[in-house]
Structure 1
Amino acid sequence: MQGRDHILRIIGKIRKVLVDFYCVVTFFFIIWMYFLDDQNICAQYNVYKQCKKLEREHIYYTTHIQKIKEETKALLQEEERLEQLAREKYYMKKKQEDLYVIIRD
């Protein structure tokens, strides 16, 4: 009986040491990965956020470019729209017309 109790105590001590060892190693691993490593979790999160931001910008600019291409195509095909753009944006006029620009505050 005493031999068995002695063996159980030894196994309990070994288990306690191993559990404490794994807890300490896990704690230091987490600290290392979160703060000390070059590719730590904070840096990875910042890279992830930047990547998502760039993807959103890419989608925005591709749709914007497509819209501008369609407008350019429409302007080149229709003389009336081209004249309207020239009058509204660049204040162009015909020779016999007077142009008044009203600036609203």
Structure 2
Amino acid sequence: MKLLNSIPSWLKNKYLLTGTFFVVWMFFFDPNDIKSDMGHRARLGELKKNELHLNQLITDTKKELDQLKTNAQTIEKYAREKYMMKKDNEDLFVVQAK
């Protein structure tokens, strides 16, 4: 009985104890705690950057495809650069940078 009287009244408040327990549970033990949330937000930022990069690649590829469909010189340039094709009367020299 003496021990119960020595505890301050604000520590006996059931609402304060329940609220404190809830906050501790949400910050440290819940599957959706603060640490996980920050990790998810960082991952979301990375994925958004990847999405922007991939959308830019798609746009560039569509432009290149449009040029390949409409321009014969572009087709010839593409064949020479990507597939090392040449005309019959030409010599092809491949120079690689180190």
Indicate the TM-score class for this superposition, using the shorter chain for normalisation.
Answer: 0.7 to 0.9
Rg (Cα) greater in structure: 1
Structure 2 residue aligned with 1:63: 56
Partner residue, 2:9: 17
Is the counterpart of residue 34 in structure 1 residue 30 in structure 2? no
Alignment match, 1:104:
97
Work out the CA distance in 1 between the residues paired with 2:78 and 2:42: 40
Q: Cα 1:88–1:45, aligned 2, differ >3 Å: closer, same or farther? A: same
For 1:71, give the aligned amino acid.
E
For these two proteins, the number of residue pairs brought into alignment is 88
SS at the partner of 1:55?
Answer: helix
Q: Give the gaps of 5 or more residues in structure 1.
A: 1-15
Shift of 1:27: 4.3
TM-score, with normalisation over the residues of structure 2?
Answer: 0.73
Normalised by the length of structure 1, the TM-score is 0.69
Tell me the alpha carbon deviations over residues 30-57 of structure 1, each in whole angstroms, 9 at most, x when there is no partner: 3321211111111111112222222222
What root-mean-square deviation, in Å, do the aligned CA atoms of Structure 1 and Structure 2 show? Answer: 2.0
Sort the Cα spacing of 1:58 and 1:90 in 2 relative to 1 into closer, same or farther, 3 A.
Answer: same
Q: Which portions of structure 1, spanning 4 or more consecutive aligned residues, are displaced by more than 6 angstroms?
A: none
* Higher fraction of helix: 1
In structure 2, the gaps of 5 or more residues are 1-7
- Opposite residue 40 of structure 2, the aligned amino acid is V
